Chain A
Amino acid sequence: DQQVKQNSPSLSVQEGRISILNCDYTNSMFDYFLWYKKYPAEGPTFLISISSIKDKNEDGRFTVFLNKSAKHLSLHIVPSQPGDSAVYFCAASAGTGANNLFFGTGTRLTVIP
Protein backbone atom coordinates (compact mmCIF):
# COMPACT_ATOMS: atom_id res chain seq x y z
CA ASP A 1 0.00 0.00 0.00
CA GLN A 2 1.65 3.16 -1.26
CA GLN A 3 1.49 5.76 1.51
CA VAL A 4 3.22 8.40 -0.59
CA LYS A 5 1.97 8.89 -4.12
CA GLN A 6 3.23 10.83 -7.08
CA ASN A 7 0.45 10.44 -9.59
CA SER A 8 2.21 12.09 -12.50
CA PRO A 9 4.97 9.84 -13.83
CA SER A 10 6.25 12.57 -16.12
CA LEU A 11 6.10 16.31 -16.71
CA SER A 12 7.45 18.48 -19.52
CA VAL A 13 8.00 22.20 -19.08
CA GLN A 14 9.50 24.92 -21.24
CA GLU A 15 12.74 26.47 -20.03
CA GLY A 16 12.11 29.58 -17.93
CA ARG A 17 8.61 28.50 -16.94
CA ILE A 18 7.49 27.11 -13.59
CA SER A 19 7.61 23.38 -12.88
CA ILE A 20 5.15 22.06 -10.31
CA LEU A 21 5.62 18.53 -9.03
CA ASN A 22 2.94 17.07 -6.79
CA CYS A 23 2.93 14.51 -4.02
CA ASP A 24 0.04 13.14 -1.94
CA TYR A 25 0.21 11.11 1.23
CA THR A 26 -2.26 9.11 3.25
CA ASN A 27 -0.70 8.86 6.71
CA SER A 28 -1.67 11.82 8.91
CA MET A 29 1.24 10.96 11.25
CA PHE A 30 3.80 12.06 8.65
CA ASP A 31 5.43 15.23 9.91
CA TYR A 32 8.57 15.65 7.83
CA PHE A 33 8.81 15.67 4.07
CA LEU A 34 11.73 15.64 1.68
CA TRP A 35 12.34 15.99 -2.04
CA TYR A 36 15.15 14.16 -3.78
CA LYS A 37 16.41 14.62 -7.31
CA LYS A 38 17.86 11.76 -9.32
CA TYR A 39 19.84 11.85 -12.55
CA PRO A 40 20.19 8.68 -14.66
CA ALA A 41 22.79 6.22 -13.34
CA GLU A 42 23.23 8.26 -10.16
CA GLY A 43 21.81 8.01 -6.66
CA PRO A 44 19.17 10.49 -5.47
CA THR A 45 20.45 13.73 -3.98
CA PHE A 46 18.65 15.67 -1.29
CA LEU A 47 16.98 18.82 -2.59
CA ILE A 48 14.74 20.42 0.02
CA SER A 49 12.66 19.45 3.03
CA ILE A 50 9.80 20.79 5.10
CA SER A 51 8.52 20.14 8.59
CA SER A 52 4.81 19.94 9.29
CA ILE A 53 5.01 23.04 11.47
CA LYS A 54 5.56 25.05 8.29
CA ASP A 55 3.56 25.38 5.12
CA LYS A 56 6.33 26.69 2.91
CA ASN A 57 10.08 26.36 2.61
CA GLU A 58 12.17 28.11 0.02
CA ASP A 59 15.71 27.54 -1.22
CA GLY A 60 16.70 29.55 -4.25
CA ARG A 61 14.65 28.45 -7.23
CA PHE A 62 13.03 25.64 -5.25
CA THR A 63 10.01 26.05 -3.00
CA VAL A 64 8.08 23.31 -1.27
CA PHE A 65 4.50 23.90 -0.16
CA LEU A 66 2.70 21.72 2.36
CA ASN A 67 -1.07 21.51 2.71
CA LYS A 68 -1.65 19.31 5.75
CA SER A 69 -5.43 19.32 5.53
CA ALA A 70 -5.26 18.02 1.97
CA LYS A 71 -2.27 15.76 2.73
CA HIS A 72 -0.55 17.26 -0.26
CA LEU A 73 2.81 18.79 -0.96
CA SER A 74 4.23 20.32 -4.06
CA LEU A 75 7.65 21.34 -5.31
CA HIS A 76 7.87 24.49 -7.40
CA ILE A 77 10.91 25.18 -9.54
CA VAL A 78 11.10 28.62 -11.02
CA PRO A 79 12.54 29.41 -13.45
CA SER A 80 13.02 25.87 -14.78
CA GLN A 81 16.36 25.10 -16.40
CA PRO A 82 17.42 22.22 -18.67
CA GLY A 83 19.72 20.99 -15.90
CA ASP A 84 16.64 20.42 -13.74
CA SER A 85 15.64 17.53 -16.00
CA ALA A 86 15.68 14.53 -13.68
CA VAL A 87 13.42 12.24 -11.68
CA TYR A 88 12.07 13.83 -8.51
CA PHE A 89 11.07 11.71 -5.51
CA CYS A 90 9.12 12.91 -2.52
CA ALA A 91 9.54 11.13 0.80
CA ALA A 92 7.76 11.32 4.14
CA SER A 93 8.58 10.40 7.68
CA ALA A 94 6.49 10.04 10.84
CA GLY A 95 9.27 11.47 12.96
CA THR A 96 10.77 8.10 13.68
CA GLY A 97 13.86 8.74 11.66
CA ALA A 98 15.43 7.80 8.38
CA ASN A 99 14.83 4.09 8.89
CA ASN A 100 11.14 4.77 8.39
CA LEU A 101 11.02 6.93 5.28
CA PHE A 102 8.33 6.33 2.70
CA PHE A 103 9.18 7.24 -0.88
CA GLY A 104 6.93 8.10 -3.78
CA THR A 105 7.35 6.50 -7.19
CA GLY A 106 8.94 9.57 -8.74
CA THR A 107 8.10 12.11 -11.45
CA ARG A 108 10.36 12.52 -14.46
CA LEU A 109 10.75 16.22 -15.25
CA THR A 110 11.92 17.26 -18.69
CA VAL A 111 12.77 20.92 -19.21
CA ILE A 112 12.70 21.78 -22.88
CA PRO A 113 15.26 24.39 -23.99
Chain B
Amino acid sequence: DGGITQSPKYLFRKEGQNVTLSCEQNLNHDAMYWYRQDPGQGLRLIYYSQIVNDFQKGDIAEGYSVSREKKESFPLTVTSAQKNPTAFYLCASSIGTHEETQYFGPGTRLLVL
Protein backbone atom coordinates (compact mmCIF):
# COMPACT_ATOMS: atom_id res chain seq x y z
CA ASP B 1 0.00 0.00 0.00
CA GLY B 2 2.04 2.91 -1.33
CA GLY B 3 1.84 6.43 -0.06
CA ILE B 4 3.37 9.29 1.85
CA THR B 5 3.37 9.50 5.61
CA GLN B 6 4.07 12.53 7.75
CA SER B 7 4.62 12.62 11.45
CA PRO B 8 3.67 13.90 13.86
CA LYS B 9 0.18 15.13 13.03
CA TYR B 10 0.54 18.00 15.51
CA LEU B 11 3.78 19.50 16.77
CA PHE B 12 4.40 22.15 19.36
CA ARG B 13 7.49 24.29 19.34
CA LYS B 14 8.85 26.44 22.09
CA GLU B 15 10.53 29.74 21.35
CA GLY B 16 14.11 29.26 20.18
CA GLN B 17 13.68 25.55 19.58
CA ASN B 18 14.40 23.61 16.40
CA VAL B 19 11.86 20.97 15.45
CA THR B 20 11.96 18.33 12.73
CA LEU B 21 8.99 17.16 10.67
CA SER B 22 9.18 13.69 9.19
CA CYS B 23 8.18 12.72 5.65
CA GLU B 24 8.49 9.20 4.24
CA GLN B 25 7.33 7.81 0.89
CA ASN B 26 7.31 4.29 -0.50
CA LEU B 27 6.25 5.27 -4.01
CA ASN B 28 9.80 5.05 -5.35
CA HIS B 29 9.56 8.68 -6.40
CA ASP B 30 12.73 10.62 -7.10
CA ALA B 31 11.36 14.07 -6.30
CA MET B 32 10.08 15.29 -2.94
CA TYR B 33 8.77 18.66 -1.78
CA TRP B 34 7.85 20.62 1.31
CA TYR B 35 5.04 23.17 1.23
CA ARG B 36 3.64 25.51 3.80
CA GLN B 37 -0.03 26.46 3.95
CA ASP B 38 -1.28 29.52 5.81
CA PRO B 39 -4.93 30.57 6.14
CA GLY B 40 -6.18 32.33 3.03
CA GLN B 41 -3.07 31.50 1.02
CA GLY B 42 -2.11 28.91 -1.51
CA LEU B 43 0.60 26.35 -0.91
CA ARG B 44 4.06 27.84 -0.94
CA LEU B 45 7.16 25.82 -1.75
CA ILE B 46 9.83 25.68 0.96
CA TYR B 47 12.34 23.18 -0.41
CA TYR B 48 12.41 20.45 -3.01
CA SER B 49 14.71 17.60 -3.85
CA GLN B 50 15.07 16.03 -7.28
CA ILE B 51 17.28 13.18 -6.19
CA VAL B 52 19.10 11.76 -3.17
CA ASN B 53 21.73 14.07 -1.68
CA ASP B 54 20.41 17.02 -3.64
CA PHE B 55 17.93 19.71 -2.65
CA GLN B 56 17.04 23.21 -3.73
CA LYS B 57 15.44 26.20 -2.06
CA GLY B 58 11.89 27.07 -2.91
CA ASP B 59 10.15 30.41 -2.53
CA ILE B 60 10.26 30.62 1.28
CA ALA B 61 13.31 28.63 2.41
CA GLU B 62 14.55 31.07 5.06
CA GLY B 63 14.44 29.57 8.54
CA TYR B 64 14.14 26.01 7.26
CA SER B 65 16.59 23.22 6.44
CA VAL B 66 16.23 19.80 4.84
CA SER B 67 18.24 16.68 4.11
CA ARG B 68 17.82 13.88 1.59
CA GLU B 69 20.07 11.04 2.66
CA LYS B 70 17.64 8.36 1.52
CA LYS B 71 15.26 8.26 -1.42
CA GLU B 72 12.34 7.51 0.88
CA SER B 73 12.90 10.27 3.41
CA PHE B 74 12.89 14.07 3.26
CA PRO B 75 12.79 15.56 6.77
CA LEU B 76 12.20 19.28 7.29
CA THR B 77 13.73 21.17 10.21
CA VAL B 78 12.06 24.37 11.31
CA THR B 79 14.83 26.34 12.94
CA SER B 80 14.65 29.07 15.55
CA ALA B 81 15.40 31.52 12.72
CA GLN B 82 11.89 30.97 11.36
CA LYS B 83 10.01 33.73 13.15
CA ASN B 84 6.52 32.73 12.13
CA PRO B 85 6.48 28.94 12.05
CA THR B 86 2.83 28.36 12.90
CA ALA B 87 1.34 26.77 9.78
CA PHE B 88 0.23 23.54 8.16
CA TYR B 89 3.14 21.74 6.51
CA LEU B 90 2.63 19.40 3.58
CA CYS B 91 5.13 17.00 2.10
CA ALA B 92 4.70 15.74 -1.45
CA SER B 93 6.46 13.56 -3.97
CA SER B 94 6.42 13.02 -7.72
CA ILE B 95 8.09 10.67 -10.15
CA GLY B 96 10.46 13.49 -11.05
CA THR B 97 10.33 17.25 -11.05
CA HIS B 98 9.35 17.12 -14.73
CA GLU B 99 6.08 15.51 -13.62
CA GLU B 100 3.65 18.08 -12.28
CA THR B 101 1.31 15.60 -10.61
CA GLN B 102 2.28 15.38 -6.97
CA TYR B 103 1.15 13.04 -4.23
CA PHE B 104 0.71 14.65 -0.84
CA GLY B 105 1.03 13.42 2.70
CA PRO B 106 -1.61 14.16 5.36
CA GLY B 107 0.28 17.15 6.74
CA THR B 108 1.70 18.31 10.07
CA ARG B 109 0.29 21.25 11.96
CA LEU B 110 2.99 23.17 13.80
CA LEU B 111 2.06 25.42 16.68
CA VAL B 112 4.27 27.70 18.73
CA LEU B 113 3.88 27.69 22.51
Contacts and interface: CB of A to CB of B under 8 A. Distances in A.
A34 B50 CA distance: 20
Given A99-B31, A99-B45, A46 B40 contact: no
Given A41-B106, A98-B31, A34 B100 contact: yes
A105 B100 contact: no
Given A99-B45, A105-B41, A106-B42, A42 B107 contact: yes
Nearest to A90: B42
A106 B35 CA distance: 15
A93 B100 contact: yes
B58 interface: yes
Interface in A1-34: 2, 4, 9, 32, 34
B43 A89 contact: yes
A99 B92 contact: no
B107 A98 contact: no
A102 interface: yes
Contacts of A57: none
Contacts of A99: 31, 33, 45, 48, 50, 56, 58, 97
Interface in B1-59: 4, 6, 9, 31, 33, 35, 40-45, 48, 50, 56, 58
B92 A43 contact: yes
Contacts of A42: 106-107
Name the residue among A2, A4, A99 with the largest chain B CB count within 10 angstroms. A99
Interface of A: 2, 4, 9, 32, 34, 36, 41-46, 49, 89, 91, 93, 97-99, 101-106
